[in-house]
Structure 1
């Protein structure tokens, strides 16, 4: 009997043009996380078995790119805009095989562009930009990591102000923590302190005690750094 491979071909229908295609996906049993950064970026035990690389599906026929978080609903006018700005410009290419980090960054950028045109929830778009930043972190490209962290912050801010994270797996405490931590990473310390304080204020009505503790730890780290600087 053949040994089970980490990657398998997932059968998909393009949400945009209904073209049937396959895209590699990692079997969850092979995904082994070693640790997480303070913004939840995972470090995998084996670099080539990286769960981040295969989250996006790119239709090889029309170029529409999406993840499992995308809704299948297209608001009025969005299909026409995607047709004009993506499908009509698309040179057929296939991202359905084994991906490098650079390949994966391209797929996330395509998905983020599609999400914007499709008017996906800001919480979905924020997650795409955050993962682009994580992939640049793996490449040790600090400038691009910081650039995409800032775009992720802008989208998380929109999501929080519009409440569009409600009904998703992202809670209010988690989005506030992320806003604090990403702000800290781009050295917007005033905003970081503000959002971490908002998490700590919710400690009595939140079941996510680990996030509250993480916010408290980050808040104390910032205060200690400020004391040393003074």
Structure 2
């Protein structure tokens, strides 16, 4: 009988050790609901691909996602060895089936690694965003909002300082997501600005659904504001 989890070989970007970590076979990934910021909910809930987004090297502790760049800025590898590897005891549990709390730990490890490595803003934004989604599934609102606030700043930096078109995310998707996170943080002025930017891209993009989502969220804000003034 085919198991939902399989072993994937990963080469650590820091120590170059090859290790195995779990992934979920695509046929077992069943999303039954999606939020307007692209957070998905899965059944059964323990077969959530978010739990396995981060790979943790059991030897040196460096944690990475598939979006991490192989390049290390000068001095970054030495800092990682000092701050992470020198304090790391060999641990294999993250290469096995993960609980939701173990998944949370892997994101925090990856966020530390990404910060020390000076990883791209877009990559760091994705880590913070996914961690916020996991806290949402636990209904831990304070932690969710904490990481949403950090993620939106990273997305703004990515949009203003990086060529996001070279990533897996399109420009309009990044702009929409910035607006949607601001909306969830109740910063309606910023949210409206970014939704308007996304709508203005309607003739330049093939992602017409993103344009429609931006319009829907823009109208939601307008209606909420009208109700508050009524």
* TM-score (norm: length of structure 1): 0.96
Structure 2 segments unaligned to the other structure (5+ residues): none
- Determine the C-alpha separation between the residues in 2 that align with 1:91 and 1:76: 26
Deviation at 1:202, TM superposition (A): 1.2
Deviation at 1:203, TM superposition (A): 1.0
**Which residue is equivalent to 1:133?**
132
**Which residue is equivalent to 1:24?**
22
Cα deviation code 1:184-227 (max 9, x no counterpart): 01111110011001111111211111000000000001100101
* TM-score (norm: length of structure 2): 0.96
In the alignment, is residue 181 of structure 1 matched against residue 156 of structure 2? Answer: no
Match of 1:48 among 27, 38, 46: 46
Indicate if the aligned counterparts of 1:12 and 1:21 stay in contact, CA closer than 8 A: yes
Deviation at 1:88, TM superposition (A): 1.0
Note the aligned Cα RMSD (angstroms).
Answer: 1.0
Structure 1 segments unaligned to the other structure (5+ residues): none
Runs of 4+ in structure 1 off by over 3 angstroms are none
Deviation at 1:18, TM superposition (A): 2.0
Indicate if the aligned counterparts of 1:122 and 1:164 stay in contact, CA closer than 8 A: no
**Which residue is equivalent to 2:119?**
120
Cα deviation code 1:13-33 (max 9, x no counterpart): 211112232111111121111
**Which residue is equivalent to 1:104?**
103
Matched residue SS, 1:120: coil
- Determine the C-alpha separation between the residues in 2 that align with 1:49 and 1:36: 16
Deviation at 1:100, TM superposition (A): 1.0
Indicate if the aligned counterparts of 1:123 and 1:164 stay in contact, CA closer than 8 A: no
- Determine the C-alpha separation between the residues in 2 that align with 1:64 and 1:199: 36
Matched residue SS, 2:166: coil
- Determine the C-alpha separation between the residues in 2 that align with 1:58 and 1:179: 28
